[in-house]
Every structure is written in C-alpha cells, then in structure tokens.
Chain A
Amino acid sequence: MTEKRKVGVFLCHCGGNISDVVDVGKVRDFAANQEDVVLATDFRFMCSNEGQERLQREIREKGLDGVVVACCTPKMYEDLFRGKAAEAGMNPFLLEIANVREQCSYPHRHEPAKATEKAKALVKAQVEKVRKLWSLEVKTAKIQPGVAVIGGGIAGIHASILLADLGHKVTLVEKSPTIGGNMARTVKTFPTDDCAMCTLSPKMNEAYNHENIDLMTYAEVVDAKRSPGKFTLTVEKKPRFVTDACIGCNRCTERCPVSTAKAPVQVESEWEMGLSKRKAIYLPFPSALPQLWTIDADHCFYFQRNHACRVCQMVCPAKAIDFTMKPERVAVDVGAVIVATGWKEYDPAPLAHLGFRRHKDVVTQLQFARMLDSMGPTRGEIARPSDGKPAETVVMVQCVGSRGAPGDPDTHEYCSRVCCMVAVKHAQLLKKARPEADVYILYNDLRAYGKGFEEYYVHSMELGVKYVRGLPGRVHPEGGKLLVDVDDMLTGRRLEIPADLVVLSAAMEPAPIDDLLASLHVDKTPDGFVKEYHAKINPTETAVKGVFVAGCAQGPKDITDTIAQAGAAAMSAAVFLGSGEMALNPLVAEVDPNLCRACDRCTEVCEFDAVHVDPATLVAVVDETACEGCGKCAVVCPTGAISVRQFKKPQILAAIDALAPLAVVP
C-alpha cells in the first residue's frame, strides 16, 4: 500500500487515568511526525460528547481516511468510535484503537517515562496498521423472529412472559418434568416470608397458558447451530409414557412398586433433595406444571425388567399410560436465545470435617427447606433424620463450599451471596414455629445487604437466634448428639455445641450446561457461571450476539435480583429482535480463491465449524456468522489463502515492525 493516506491520531487523557502517567503531549508530538499522519491532537475525554464531536469534525474537515484513537481498551468504545466515524462519513473499519490505558498507563503507573515511550510505540504500531487498512463492507442479515428461553425456573418464566406479552413467540424449554425451578422448593422467601409457591404459581400459570409461549417440559436442547440471524436448536423431548388423558388421580403412584419398603429398586426424590423416596411414576410436587405424571424409565420395572410390571397401566382409569412413546427431536428456529438454566446446590461431602453423608443429621439448607414444607417429606417437622426425634438444638454453618481457596477443586472461590439470608430465614422460621428450639448460626461475615435484610436479621435476634462468629473445626457424634467445635470470636470462648441437627449453607453452583454452552459458543467465567458481556455495564448479553443470560446461570443471586435481571435480558432480547436486522461482523476470515488448494487444514482446526471446502469449486468457504475471527485457520494455511480481515500479514507485520524497536530487548 503506497498511496498517501490521511491519518488522524486522537489521544485521550482519560481524565488523568492516562495523562497522569503518560506524557500525552510528547506522544502527540511524536505521532504528528509519523508518515501519513495529518493531524495529532489530544483531549480530556474522547468518549464524551465533545470528544466525539471533535472526532467527527476532524474526519469531515480533513477528509481523514484513517483514525487512531489512543485511549482505553477497545472493548469499551471501539464500537462507539467506529459508529461515530461512520456517521461522519469514514468507513468505520479504518479506525483502530491504541490501548494506552489498560496496556500502558495502568500497569506501568510507577514508570511514567517508560510508559510514555511505550505509548509512543503503541500509537505508531496502530498508525502503521491503519495505513494498510482498507474499507470493509458491513453485511446484514435478517434476524429470525422468535426467542428460545432455556430453563423454566423463575428467571426463564419471567423473561418468557415479558417477551410473550410483547408479542414475540417464545419457546420455553425445561429439562425437568415441571417448570418452577428451585424457587418452588424454598417454601418462604426472604425478607418478607412470603409463601414461595404463592408468588410463583401465578407466574407458572401465566407461562403455561400464554398463547405466545410454547412450553416444552421434560425436554432438553441437545444441539445448537448458528447461521446468519438465526439459531437452530435441536430439542429432544423425552417420553413421559403418560398421555394428556391423565386426570391426576394418583392411583398409579400409589400402586407403583418401586421404592416401597421391600423393593429392590429405591429412588431418592430429586424434588425432596433426597429426604424421601419417589416412585418410578410420579408427579414431582403437588402444584407441578404441567400436571402430568411422568415415568422414569431408568427405574421403572416395565422398562428395566423386560415389561415385568404394568400395574400403573392396569389401574389407570383414564387409560393414559402409553409405554410406546418415543423421544422426539424437534428443530426450533429462533433469532435470540436466553440462557436461564439456574443453579444447583453444592454437595458438601468433600468437606469431611463437617460430616455430610457420614452423619444423617447433617443436612443442607435446601434439605432443611424441604423439612419446613408442611407438604414436604417430614410434614413440616424439623426432626433429626437419624431417629425422627424433634431437633431441639440446630446449628447452621455458613460458607460451605463458598469463599474457598483459589484453585481448590473441591470448593468455589466465590461467595454465594444468598446463603446468609437463607440461614437467617430458616432460623427465624424455626424459632417462630418452635420458640423453645435453640438455634445457632455460625458465620464468617453476615451479608444482609438488600432491602429489608438488616431489619430481618435484627428481628431474628429478637426471636432468639444466636450468632457465633467463627466456622467450626469439626462436627462429631457424641452421646446421641453432634458436637460442633467452634471458636467464637465474639465471646472469645471456644464452644462445643451439642446439636441435634447441623444445617450446612452450601454454595450455589451453576447447573451443568457445558455442552449447551459449547454448542452456543458461549464462554464461562472462571467461577463456572455464564460469562456476561460486561460484569458491570452489560450483565445480560453474552459475547455471542443474540445469546442472553438471566438469573443464577450468570451468578448467584436472590429472587429479587433474578427477576430484575430476567426483565433486563428480556428487554435486551426484545430490542435485538425488534431491530429486525443484525450487522454481521466483517472482521472474520475470508478466502482468496486463487490461493486456496482445498487441503482442509483450515477446516480441521476450526473450532466453530465456520469453514468448509466446497466440493464443487474446491475452494474453502467461510460462514461469516459462525466465524469468530480467531485466526487459527490463517496460521495453518500453507499458502496464505485464508486470512482474517484487518489482520492480514502486511497489516500485522506493519504493527510489529513499529513495536519491535521497543519490544525486542537487545
């Protein structure tokens, strides 16, 4: 590229974040002397209104055909500046960002002189690259109408209703036989002690009955394919073996032999967190929606023992049992996907000193919630699982599985956010039900941050809940009790509390959706939750355009925050769908057909399934919506036929040549 260019360099002070370290004036003067640079200027805040107006004015007045903005990370404002440049009449892809903040003034803040030299090099590298850039066309694709919401808990339900109310067609896919998720298990919600089902049921009903919501329960998304403006999801509907004719009489469940006292097959109820058994044919909980019984083929004698048992079919008055039902796969085309797959409770067994699974009287908070439920496995009695006697002394332990060491495979580093309030809730519900019970909460920090939470916590103390600051050393059985050893920092005493029941506030973990995320090409943050686009300013989008996230799938949170986020995700999805059209990122791979010899090396390395050799033309073809522009193909291509736009060899080399004198230490 030897034609003369007119490049403008704009240096941002970032209000001191850059200019306190980097001598912006020196960098500007240096930039002004570079080849093809016709303007070098600096300003306090390039991202501000005034900054952008300056950018546009200079583009227009000087007819710039290349711009370098030296500022913060491109992740912040590259799209913004490119958009403004486009408005001013310059192709947006002739604008590059030199990151002189996160990659210069921040890390080198104690070495301003060196930072200034580095900033000069970074700017020069981008100037050299820009001199070799050419305009790129932005193609658009029509966005497929329709949304798929994956996960039928409160987040998925709320987002679905909002979108459906707006007129969008929503496909709500839920893996378990019923919608409702974990909220249905919680019995009461803090800090108002509302009955959980009372607040959840109306929403469940609305989602179930909404004309714009196609509800698929006992169904799972097994694959996802992207094409321009569209996601094609493959949903596998598992067979219930029970038809719509079911009238809900429960006779089948009563007669099912599985899990009866002498049965060779015993199934723990997932719904009741293992505190009781369920039959092979079952309704998960009384207000399950849809109100359809389900046969669990993995434990049913008909399926497992060669059709040995048909008793449910025999007693069913509605002839609703159909053992011939088959799994069904359907393809669902949508423009947007909301991941709302929720959470599961951490299993504390690895923390051997706490005795979970070793001692029957050690349970988790979700199990305790099931005990509190008057329709639950213990009919609302808080009793010792070991012998059924009432639990007089209950000790709750916080932070089980949370706030662990970095790199520890058995625990999580993060705080699960809700367990402090869950413990306060459960403790004060117990005190209200049985004032004579002696209830302790052993904590590290008590996080009662939300609206009404502090008052709720103080009220729990007025009811007599006791707080011990210290986590236990050991829980060990003695004399029919479980002794909890704990150093209490508040009283300065080492305590030995003889507990009837120990309740562990176990961490919140994301539901296991690795395969789903892989198929959607959505990343996870190191803690295992779905990676949001930006933790502060954009927690509901993901890096994949059209895929959104809501609720605990993104991170631990309570119902209030889940609903808020689900609403935000629904709104983001609606805005996305509403535009009708999406711009396709042109910074993806392209193939020079003259150089391609169909060797297949690129197709072998591509993780995104984005390039294929066309058998007719024997030239590799890139699917521009699937391509992420990672450049792996360009690395392995022996001829240089495939390369990523704006990251072509001459462009990258130009930047490297500019950086090399500083970067290569003699």
Chain B
Amino acid sequence: MRTPVRPDGPAFWREVAATPRGGAIATCIQCGTCTSSCPVEAYDPSFNVRRLVARVKLGLREDVLSDEALWACTRCFACVARCPKDVQPGEIVEALRSIALKEHRQGAGPRHAVAFADSVRDNGRISEARVTIESIGLSGLARQGALPVRMALRGKSPSLRRHRLRSISEIRALLEEESP
C-alpha cells in the first residue's frame, strides 16, 4: 500500500544547494544518465541517485534523510563524470550524508563514518582494525569467518596497536569540537 506523502521540507533543496558539494542540484533535468551509469543500482535498485535528487528537489526531507540506501553509494563518481548538466549527483550524496550526520541519523552508514572520523581525531591516521571493528561490530567480525585468521597468517592483518602521530594536538585543533 503506497501511502501518499506530502512534501515536508519545501526548502530542502536550498539547504542542499547551500552546501559546498550540493550547489548544482537546481539544474537537474531528471534525464537518468546517472542511474544508468551507477554500478550499485545495477545490483540494488533501492539505491537510485536520480530519484534521490528528485526527492530532494520535491522537498521530501525525512524520506531522504532516513533512507538507508543513502549509504550504499560507493563514491565511484560515474554519475558525476557523465551528468550532462553537471549536477554532480555523487557529490549531492556527500552533502546529504553530511546533513544526515549532523542530525545524528542512525544506521550502519553513519556508524562507519563516525568510527572513521573518531579514529582520525584519536590518532591522526586511521587504525584500519579499529575502524573496521567499530563499523561492523563483533557480530560483523564473526561473520568474516576464517578470513581474519588467514590474513594474520599471511602477515596481511592491519595493526592492532595504536600509532598516534606526535603532532596529534594540531590535528585535533583543526577538527570540529565534537563528532556526531
């Protein structure tokens, strides 16, 4: 049953257009070249960047920001390369994720982004191991099966030790006060 929706954020598109990466959203003519180029959509039609842009322009704010599929984009930028109007849909995804993170939206996607940012703030570089574990959790780790062990045997495992840069205070000073 498709319940009709009412646009809840008529000025949402302007919010996105004001971000550093979302500026060109107004010129999208919905041609579909982006989705036609998208490797993700080919496997998972629930991520449709053309539709995402349309939903933003129409003011379906909650609909967009709560959509899990927002985090399925792999940043391949094929859409950006081919968009005839230079709308840069892949960059709009980045802008939308920023807004979602500011609003503390939950899910695997935000969790990963936050884990990554925390790692940078903590060490200056990321700790691959820490970011992975914080992103997928222990259950996710369990689902990796024997792979972590086989990696360890090949010497391929990321380091479990902390390698904090000496100038970490500089790095922290340059970042925002708190992470979402």
Contact = CB atoms under 8 A, between A and B. Distances in A.
A and B: direct contact (Cβ < 8 Å)? yes
A494 interface: yes
A241 B90 CA distance: 70
A492 B48 contact: yes
A491 interface: yes
A496 B4 contact: yes
A438 B57 CA distance: 12
Contacts of A488: 54, 58
B47 interface: no
Interface string B55-72: 101111001000000000
Interface in B1-28: 2-7, 10, 13-14, 26-28
B29 interface: yes
A485 B4 contact: yes
Nearest to B50: A490
B6 A496 contact: yes
Contact of A490 (B4, B5, B51, B85): B51
Contact of A496 (B5, B27, B48): B5
Nearest to A468: B58
Contacts of B55: 491, 493
A491 B60 contact: yes
A462 B26 CA distance: 5
Contacts of A485: 4
B169 interface: no
Contacts of B3: 494
Contact of A498 (B6, B13, B26): B6
Interface in A482-519: 485, 488, 490-498
A361 to B, nearest CB: 18
B30 interface: yes
A404 interface: no
Contacts, number: 60
Q: Which of A457, A469, A488 has the most CB of B within 10 A?
A: A488
Interface residues of B, number: 25
A461 B30 CA distance: 12
Contacts of A497: 6-7
Q: Which of A461, A462, A491 has the most CB of B within 10 A?
A: A491
A461 B6 CA distance: 20
A458 B27 contact: yes
Contacts of B85: 458
Contact of A491 (B13, B27, B51): B51
A493 B63 contact: yes
Given A464-B14, A466-B58, A468-B58, A495 B4 contact: yes
A631 to B, nearest CB: 55
Given A466-B59, A469-B30, A490 B54 contact: yes
Contacts of A492: 48, 51
A469 B50 CA distance: 13
A467 interface: yes
Contacts of B60: 491, 493
A491 B58 contact: yes
Given A493-B5, A493-B60, A462 B54 contact: no
A495 B54 CA distance: 13
A487 to B, nearest CB: 8
B10 to A, nearest CB: 5
B5 A461 contact: no
A438 B29 CA distance: 19
Contacts of A461: 26-28, 57
Given A469-B30, A491-B60, A494-B3, A464 B13 contact: yes
Contacts of B14: 464
A494 B48 CA distance: 17
Contacts of A491: 51, 54-55, 58, 60
Interface string A435-476: 000100000000000000000011001101011110000000
B53 to A, nearest CB: 9
Report, nearest first, the 6 A-B pairs whose CB atoms are least far apart: A490-B54, A496-B4, A462-B26, A491-B54, A491-B55, A494-B4
Given A462-B26, A497-B7, 11 more contacts: A438-B10, A457-B29, A458-B26, A464-B26, A466-B58, A467-B57, A469-B30, A488-B54, A490-B54, A497-B6, A498-B6
Interface of B: 2-7, 10, 13-14, 26-30, 48, 50-51, 54-55, 57-60, 63, 85
25 contacts: A438-B7, A438-B10, A457-B29, A458-B29, A461-B26, A461-B57, A462-B26, A462-B27, A464-B13, A464-B14, A464-B26, A466-B59, A467-B30, A467-B57, A485-B4, A490-B50, A490-B51, A493-B2, A493-B58, A493-B63, A495-B4, A495-B7, A496-B5, A497-B6, A498-B6
